[in-house]
C-alpha cells in the first residue's frame, strides 16, 4: 500500500476510531505493544500499524504545533516543517498582501501560518510531492482555511507566480540520499533569489549557517532562535528588508528583535571580578550583531576575536545570558582546580569560545565535591587562553 493509500485508510471512519483510541489511551512505549495487540483483534493489522505511526508523529509534532493531534504528517514532512511560533513570526511580514505563494509548502507548517496572518490573502501552495500536498490540504481543512488556498502539484519552476506580490519559499535541504551540504538546497538559493522583483515581498528560509557572502546587497539576513536554540535563517528581499541583518529571539509569546546599531568601535578590555559577562544568544552571533548588542547595552568586548561581552553593571537582555564574574585568570587547569576547591565548587558548566579543548573531559576534571555550581567561560583575553569563573547573575 502506498503512503497516500495509508492516509486514505486513516481518514476512514475505522481509521479515525483507531487514532482516537490511541490518543485517548495515550500509549507509552512500554504499553504500546499491548494496545496494538488489542486493536488488531478488532481492526485490520495494516490500519493499526499505519495509525500507530501517525499517532507517534502527532505526539512528536506537539513540540511544533498546538493542534498536532488533529493534523496529518509524514516523518520527513514533520522534520522539515517550521514550528508554529517561527512560522507565525515570519508570516507577519506578508500581512496585508492580496496574494501570497508558499513554494515548497510541504505538509503546510508555513502555509497555515500564512493563512492565519495574511488573513485576507488568497494563497497558492505548490509542492511536487503529491503526498505532502494532500497533507497540506488536509491540515488547511482542519484550520478552516482551505477555501482560500489553491493547491498545485508541480515543480516550483513551472508554477505560475506571475505578478504575485508575496512569495515565501522553503526549499528542501535534504534529498532521498540524506541531508544536503550547507548552502545547498532544491531548488538552489540562486533560483530562489531570482524570485525577487521590484516591490515583491520574498522570504527564503535557509540554514542559519549560510555564508553571509551569498546574501545579495539590499537583502536582510534574519537569524531566528527559539529561546537559546538557533533554529533557522530567512532572507528577505529588498521590499521586505528592514535592515541588512537581524537577530530574532522568540520566548513564548514575546518576540525580541535586534538590528544593527552603528556607532563607535566597541572597547576591548580584560574582564574583572564583580563585572557581568554576557554570552550572546546564538542568533545574535550568527547575524553578526555582537558589537551592535554591545553598543545597545553599553558593554565592551573581552577580546577582539571573541563573542563574550563584559559590562561593569548587571545586564538584563533577551539577547544573551548574563553571568557574574567571580574570578578572572589565565587558563591553567591546575590553578583553576585549586581556585574552584577554595570556592567550594560542585557542578561545573563550561562555555567555550575561541579555545580548543574537550569540554566533557575538562568538566569531569574540574567539577568538585562542594555545594556551589559554577559556569566557567573557557576563552581568550588579549589573545591569551583565559578562564572566567562565573555564577548566574
Ligand atoms: C523543507 S520542506 C517545506 C516545509 C514547509 N515549509 C513546512 O513548514 O511544512 C520542502 C518541500 O519542498 C518540496 N520540493 C523540493 N523541491 C521542489 C521543487 N523543485 N518543486 C516543488 N516542490 C519541491 C519537497 O517535496 C518538500 O515537501
322 in Cβ contact with 278 (< 8 Å): yes
Q: Measured between alpha carbons, how far is residue 239 from residues 159, 297, 319 in Å?
A: 22, 30, 26
Q: How far is the CA of 191 from the centre of ligand 1 (A)?
A: 14
Q: Which domain holds residue 150?
A: 78-258
Residue whose CB lies within 8 A of the most ligand 1 atoms, among 64, 77, 106, for a mutation test = 106
Q: How far is the CA of 286 from the centre of ligand 1 (A)?
A: 25
Which pLDDT score, from 0 to 100, does residue 257 have?
Answer: 98
Same domain membership, residue 121 and residue 17: no
Q: How far is the CA of 254 from the centre of ligand 1 (A)?
A: 29
Q: How far is the CA of 142 from the centre of ligand 1 (A)?
A: 21
Which pLDDT score, from 0 to 100, does residue 245 have?
Answer: 98
Which atom of ligand 1 is nearest the CA belonging to 82? 8
Lookup result for grid cell 555545594? 371
Q: How far is the CA of 204 from the centre of ligand 1 (A)?
A: 12
- 269 occurs within a structural domain: no
Which atom of ligand 1 is nearest the CA belonging to 87? 8
- 209 occurs within a structural domain: yes
Which pLDDT score, from 0 to 100, does residue 137 have?
Answer: 97
Same domain membership, residue 248 and residue 102: yes
Same domain membership, residue 186 and residue 335: no
- 351 occurs within a structural domain: yes
pTM comes to: 0.92
Which atom of ligand 1 is nearest the CA belonging to 106? 27
Same domain membership, residue 283 and residue 250: no
Which pLDDT score, from 0 to 100, does residue 34 have?
Answer: 81
Which pLDDT score, from 0 to 100, does residue 140 have?
Answer: 97
Ligand 1 pocket, CB under 6 A: 80-82, 104-110, 126-129, 132, 155-156, 170, 172, 186-187
Q: How far is the CA of 126 from the centre of ligand 1 (A)?
A: 8
Which protein residue's CA is at the shortest distance from atom 19 of ligand 1? 155
Q: How far is the CA of 107 from the centre of ligand 1 (A)?
A: 9
Q: Measured between alpha carbons, how far is residue 273 from residues 91, 276, 338, 388 in Å?
A: 45, 8, 17, 9
Tens-binned pLDDT, residue by residue, of the chain (393 aa): 788 888 999 999 999 999 998 888 776 766 777 888 888 999 999 999 999 999 999 999 999 999 999 999 999 999 999 999 999 999 999 999 999 999 999 999 999 999 988 667 899 999 999 999 999 999 999 999 999 999 999 999 999 999 999 999 999 999 888 899 999 999 999 999 999 999 999 999 999 999 999 999 999 999 999 999 999 999 999 999 999 999 999 999 999 999 999 999 999 999 999 999 999 999 999 999 999 999 999 999 999 999 999 999 999 999 999 999 999 999 999 999 999 999 999 999 999 999 998 999 999 999 999 999 999 999 999 999 999 999 988
CATH, residue 118: 3.40.50.150
Which protein residue's CA is at the shortest distance from atom 27 of ligand 1? 106
Which atom of ligand 1 is nearest the CA belonging to 187? 19
Same domain membership, residue 245 and residue 126: yes
Q: Give how many domains the chain has, as a whole number.
A: 3
Which atom of ligand 1 is nearest the CA belonging to 172? 10
Which atom of ligand 1 is nearest the CA belonging to 156? 20
Same domain membership, residue 307 and residue 244: no
Which atom of ligand 1 is nearest the CA belonging to 129? 25
Which pLDDT score, from 0 to 100, does residue 138 have?
Answer: 96
* Angle made by CA atoms 5, 9, 10, in degrees to the nearest 5: 115
Which protein residue's CA is at the shortest distance from atom 14 of ligand 1? 104
Same domain membership, residue 221 and residue 322: no
Helix extents (H) in the chain: 3-11, 13-25, 29-42, 45-61, 75-80, 84-91, 109-117, 130-143, 189-193, 282-286, 290-297, 333-342, 359-366
Residue whose CB lies within 8 A of the most ligand 1 atoms, among 88, 103, 105, for a mutation test = 105
Same domain membership, residue 248 and residue 206: yes
Give counts: helices (H), strands (E), the chain: 13, 18
Which protein residue's CA is at the shortest distance from atom 1 of ligand 1? 172
Integer Cα distance of 72 and 263 in angstroms: 50
CA atoms 64, 68, 74, 77: torsion sign: negative
Which pLDDT score, from 0 to 100, does residue 118 have?
Answer: 63
Of the three residues 258, 291, 318, the one that is the final residue of a domain is 258
Which atom of ligand 1 is nearest the CA belonging to 168? 6
Same domain membership, residue 282 and residue 217: no
Which protein residue's CA is at the shortest distance from atom 12 of ligand 1? 104
Same domain membership, residue 302 and residue 160: no
Sheet holding 309-311, edge to edge: 300-301, 309-311, 276-280, 320-330, 384-392, 372-381, 345-352
- 154 occurs within a structural domain: yes
Q: How far is the CA of 135 from the centre of ligand 1 (A)?
A: 12
- 267 occurs within a structural domain: no
- 284 occurs within a structural domain: yes
Which protein residue's CA is at the shortest distance from atom 10 of ligand 1? 172
Same domain membership, residue 310 and residue 191: no
Q: Measured between alpha carbons, how far is residue 335 from residues 338, 360, 368 in Å?
A: 5, 19, 14
Same domain membership, residue 128 and residue 54: no
Which pLDDT score, from 0 to 100, does residue 208 have?
Answer: 95
- 271 occurs within a structural domain: no
Which atom of ligand 1 is nearest the CA belonging to 174? 1
C-alpha cell recorded at residue 106: 510541504
- 227 occurs within a structural domain: yes
Amino acid at each position: 500500500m502506498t503512503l497516500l493509500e495509508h492516509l486514505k485508510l486513516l481518514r476512514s471512519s475505522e481509521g479515525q476510531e483507531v487514532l482516537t483510541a490511541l490518543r485517548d489511551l495515550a500509549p507509552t512505549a512500554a504499553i504500546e505493544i499491548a494496545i496494538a495487540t488489542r486493536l488488531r483483534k478488532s481492526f485490520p493489522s495494516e490500519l493499526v500499524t499505519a495509525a500507530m505511526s501517525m499517532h507517534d508523529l502527532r505526539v512528536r509534532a506537539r513540540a511544533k504545533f498546538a493542534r498536532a493531534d488533529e493534523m496529518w504528517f509524514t516523518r520527513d514532512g514533520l522534520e522539515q516543517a517550521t514550528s508554529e511560533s517561527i512560522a507565525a513570526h515570519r508570516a507577519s511580514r506578508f500581512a496585508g498582501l492580496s496574494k501570497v505563494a508558499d513554494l515548497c509548502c510541504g505538509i503546510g507548517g508555513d502555509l497555515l501560518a500564512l493563512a492565519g496572518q495574511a488573513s485576507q490573502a488568497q494563497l497558492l501552495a505548490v509542492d511536487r510531492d503529491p503526498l505532502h500536498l494532500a497533507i497540506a490540504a488536509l491540515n488547511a481543512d482542519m484550520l478552516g482555511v482551505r477555501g482560500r488556498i489553491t493547491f498545485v502539484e508541480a515543480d516550483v519552476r513551472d508554477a505560475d507566480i506571475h505578478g504575485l506580490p508575496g512569495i515565501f519559499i522553503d526549499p528542501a535541504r535534504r534529498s532521498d540520499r540524506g541531508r544536503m551540504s550547507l548552502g545547498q538546497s532544491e531548488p538552489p538559493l540562486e533560483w530562489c533569489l531570482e524570485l525577487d522583483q521590484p516591490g515583491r515581498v520574498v522570504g527564503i528560509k535557509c540554514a542559519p549557517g549560510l555564508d553571509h557572502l551569498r546574501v545579495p546587497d539590499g537583502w536582510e539576513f534574519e537569524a531566528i532562535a527559539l529561546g537559546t536554540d538557533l533554529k533557522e535563517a530567512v532572507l528577505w528581499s529588498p521590499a521586505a528588508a528592514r535592515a541588512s541583518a537581524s537577530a530574532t529571539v522568540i520566548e513564548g509569546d514575546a518576540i525580541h528583535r535586534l538590528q544593527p546599531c552603528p556607532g563607535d568601535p566597541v572597547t576591548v578590555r580584560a574582564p574583572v571580578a564583580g563585572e557581568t559577562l554576557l554570552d550572546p544568544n546564538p542568533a545574535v552571533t550568527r547575524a553578526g550583531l555582537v558589537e551592535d548588542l554591545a553598543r545597545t547595552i553599553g558593554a565592551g568586548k573581552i577580546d577582539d576575536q571573541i563573542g563574550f561581552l563584559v559590562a561593569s553593571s548587571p545586564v538584563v537582555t533577551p539577547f544573551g545570558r548574563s553571568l557574574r564574574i567571580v574570578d578572572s585568570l589565565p587558563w591553567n587547569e591546575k590553578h583553576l582546580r585549586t581556585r574552584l576547591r577554595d570556592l567550594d565548587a560542585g557542578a561545573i558548566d563550561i562555555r567555550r569560545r575561541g579555545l580548543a579543548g574537550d569540554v566533557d573531559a575538562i568538566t569531569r576534571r574540574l567539577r568538585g565535591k562542594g555545594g556551589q555550581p559554577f559556569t566557567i567561560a573557557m576563552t581568550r583575553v588579549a589573545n591569551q587562553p583565559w578562564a572566567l569563573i562565573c555564577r548566574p547573575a
